Amino acid sequence: MAEGGAAVKRYKRVKKTVVEINVMNSFVPVRDGIVMALMDRDMVVLTSDHDIDINCQGVAVFIPDQGVVKNVTVLASRAGIAILLCSNLTPDQQRELVEVELFEGDLQEFQEVYTYSHQNKYRVLTPGNIMSLDAIGFDHSCSAHSITHYGSPVFNEDAQLVGMCFNFSEYVSSYNIAEIARKIDNNFGREYKSVQLSLQNLRHQN
C-alpha cells in the first residue's frame, strides 16, 4: 500500500480508539482517553490520574460527533493512570469506537511513532521518533502541546498502541505497554502476569 493510503488507514483506525476526557475543577480540564475495552453498551477508558480520584464526580467522556457518555464511573486512579467505566453507550456512540490494539513487541530507538490528541487543531497524528528506551517506557520526539503528557496515546505505524505519555522535558516520556498493564493490575491489587491477562481482567472489572 502506498504511504498515503497507509497514513489514511492509520488515522481512521486511531481516531476511533481515542475519546476526550473533561475533568471539572482541574488544572488539566481536558485530556485524552484510550478505549481499552468495548463490551455490550459499555467501555473501559484509560487516561491520566491527574486530579481524578476514586470519588471524583466531575468526569465526563466525550465521543467526537456523538456527544457525551451519560454514565462515567472512576474504577481506579493511582500510580499515574485512571481507569474509567463508561456505561449505557448509544448504538451510534458504539459505532464510532473500536478497541485499541496493543503492540507487545520490542520497540527500537529511532522507530517512528505518532501521538494523537483532541487538542491538536485538526486532530491529526503527529509523527516523531523514539529517542531512548528504559524498562518502563521511552522518550520520543513527537510534537507536544500543553496536555500531551497527561495521558495522550502513542501509536506505531500500524495504529497499535505502544505507550501513554506522562511527562515532558526535552522529549515526551511515555509508559510502554507492559508498564501500563502493570499499573492496571496494581490499581486493582492483582499480581501482574501478562499484558493479555491484564486486559482480560479489565473487561470484567466493574
* Interval 10-24: pLDDT, tens: 999 999 999 999 999
Q: 151 pLDDT exceeds 60? A: yes
- Distance separating alpha carbons of residues 12 and 190, to the nearest angstrom: 34
pTM of the model: 0.93
The whole-number average pLDDT for the span 124-147 is: 90
Q: Does the domain made of 3-95 have the CATH classification 2.40.30.10?
A: no
Where does the chain hold its CATH 2.40.10.10 domain(s)?
3-95, 101-179
Q: What pLDDT does residue 55 have?
A: 83
* Interval 22-67: pLDDT, tens: 999 888 888 999 999 999 899 999 999 999 998 888 999 999 889 9
The answer to whether the CB of 189 falls within 8 A of the CB of 183 is no
- Cite the beta strand spans of the chain per DSSP E: 18-23, 30-38, 43-48, 59-63, 67-68, 71-78, 81-87, 101-102, 112-116, 125-133, 137-140, 153-155, 160-168, 172-176
Q: Which CATH architecture has domain 101-179?
A: Beta Barrel (2.40)
Q: What pLDDT does residue 123 have?
A: 66
The answer to whether the CB of 80 falls within 8 A of the CB of 149 is no
Q: What pLDDT does residue 206 have?
A: 64
Q: What pLDDT does residue 145 have?
A: 73
Phi then psi dihedrals of residue 92, to 5 deg = -65, -40
* Interval 169-194: pLDDT, tens: 889 999 999 999 999 999 999 999 99
* Interval 90-124: pLDDT, tens: 999 999 999 999 999 999 999 999 998 876 555 67
pLDDT band, residue 3 (cuts 50/70/90): low
